[in-house]
Amino acid sequence: MRHDHLISAKQLSRDDIEAVLDRAAEIADDPGAVADAREDTLLGLCFFEPSTRTKMSFDTAMKRLGGDTVDMGSVESSSVKKGESLADTVRVIEGYTDAVVLRHPSEGAAKLASEFVDVPVINAGDGAGQHPTQTLLDLHTIRENAGFEDLTIGIMGDLKYGRTVHSLAHALTNFDVSQHFISPESLRLPRSVRFDLHESGAQVREHTEIEEVLETLDVLYVTRIQRERFPDENEYRQVAGQYRIDAEMLEAAKDDLTVMHPLPRVDEIAPDVDDTDHATYFEQAHNGVPVRMALLDEIL
Amino acid sequence: MTETELRVSKIENGTVIDHITGGQALNVLAILGIDGSSGEEVSVGMNVPSDRLGRKDIVKVEGRELSQNEVDVLSLIAPAATINIVRDFDVIEKHRVSRPEAVTGVLSCPNANCITTENEPVESRFEVLEEGVRCAYCDTIIRDSLAAHISVA
Ligand SMILES: [Zn+2]
């Protein structure tokens, strides 16, 4: 990959994506072959908001490549609490490590960080913005299960604040994919994402009900609707209930529908879906390690 | 000299910004950071008849020439504006504004969760789109009422 930093899925061309996914497939087949590929590499983990899984997945990936990680620790115990700027924090950590993985609650944080350091910055989620490494593992899962040819994907849930959705939607414009977005009116895609999709000439439709498209889908990507987005509990319940799937509903879907979710889920996918052939979300989560190994090996 | 121009007094040295979109004159002053407190001599004509625009605003500032950055932002709210540089009562330079590719440090991002609104050592930066501008950090697009996002020092 040509880029030093990975800030947004918008940077990724089809070739970039395919290079990482091909490498991830090789690594998944024979993890031992890369066991000391990055022996002397030290990766800085800077998580300004908690995300145990994403952090563990980067930690695991780096160690499986023979490298090591250092962890900034929780924000509560760091100098950030004393009011240090992000720009200063990353400039200090730059001196310790070969690359920085950044998770931050504000949009644009990774972009800003990348302007202050010379080591590669990998965006591991910036507010409601982008989460490009999640997108790479999502794409890997889609390719393994459904392929990218003539694909119809439904993306459902909180599309407004869902950074995984924003990244994925951008990345899918590189492929022959028609995208259907299903959400309550109040949580539809932000203007900036709709703008980019329109500019790229992507085939995009928006819906408020899953029933309108369910039977045409090859992939259904479900995201969580967060309680804190709603002023009152009742309104949340009403909305969230409409964007929940269960095994009975999926009887109307194609037999080979792939159901994905970036996890954690709360109740938007009923447990009875887990026992169907549609459930792919745990496999998707496991793909995080080989995909991040491939990415780190390419970028560092 | 048309009758319209006469309504606003001539200046000796400075800048005449003409063909401002009707109603935008005060926003133009905001971009220039002019509120009268530092004693500049300023004349403003609002909603005067114009062949080209129907109604236009006009601003004349004595003793002040504009920086490129100011002209760039001006172009966003008054795309038809012309800038006339006056010395010794003569217009020595006249040019139209053109839209820049980006503006730095003049607009503030309306996204309260954008990293540029926090205490970080960066200036805001917006890419200029065909319609509106877009934050280079968080991607937020501002399409309408750009003037409301001008951060005057
Ligand atoms: Zn912004």
Among B111, B119, B134, the residue with its CB nearest the CB of A107 is B111
pLDDT digits over A175-211, tens only? 999 999 999 999 999 999 999 999 999 989 999 999 9
Chain B residues with beta carbon closer than 8 angstroms to that of A109: 115
Contact of B136 with chain A, judged by CB distance below 8 Å, is answered with yes
Q: If pLDDT is split at 50, 70 and 90, which confidence band does B105 have?
A: confident
Contact B139 A107 (CB under 8 A): yes
Residue B8: per-residue pLDDT: 57
pLDDT of residue A226: 87
Instruction: Quote the ligand 1 centre to A196 CA distance (angstroms).
Output: 16
Contact map slice: A 156-215 vs B, CB within 8 A? 191-193, 195
Report how far residue A25's alpha carbon sits from residue B49's, in angstroms, rounded to the nearest whole number: 69
User: For chain A, what's the residue count?
Assistant: 300
pLDDT at position A192: 95
Lowest mean pLDDT among A157-161, A187-191, B22-26, B27-31: B27-31
Nearest to A38 by CA among A19, A20, A61: A61
Q: Locate the chain A residue with the closest alpha carbon to B135.
A: A108
Q: What's the CA dihedral at A142, A143, A148, A150 to 10 degrees?
A: -70
Residues of chain A with pLDDT below 50 are: none
> How close is the nearest chain A Cα to the Cα of B36, in Å?
36
pLDDT band of B51, cuts 50, 70, 90: confident
In A65-108, which residue ranges form alpha helices assigned H by DSSP?
Answer: 86-94
Question: How far apart, in whole angstroms, are the C-alpha atoms of residue B44 and residue B41?
Answer: 10
pLDDT tens-digit readout, B61-99 = 999 888 887 888 889 889 999 999 999 999 999 989 998
Contact A119, A95 (CB under 8 A): no
Give the per-residue pLDDT at A11.
95
Enumerate long-range contacts of A30-36, CB under 8 Å, 24 or more apart.
A31/A64, A31/A290, A31/A293, A34/A64, A34/A65, A34/A66, A34/A293, A34/A297, A35/A64, A35/A65, A35/A66, A36/A65, A36/A66
pLDDT for the residue numbered A10: 96
Q: How far apart, in whole angstroms, are the C-alpha atoms of residue A123 and residue A133?
A: 8
pLDDT in tens, A50-77: 898 999 999 999 999 999 999 988 777 6
* Interchain proximity A107–B113, CB inside 8 Å: yes
Confirm whether pTM is higher than 0.95.
no
Q: Which amino acid is at A88?
A: D
Say if CB B4 and CB B51 are below 8 A apart: no
A111 touches chain B (CB under 8 A): yes
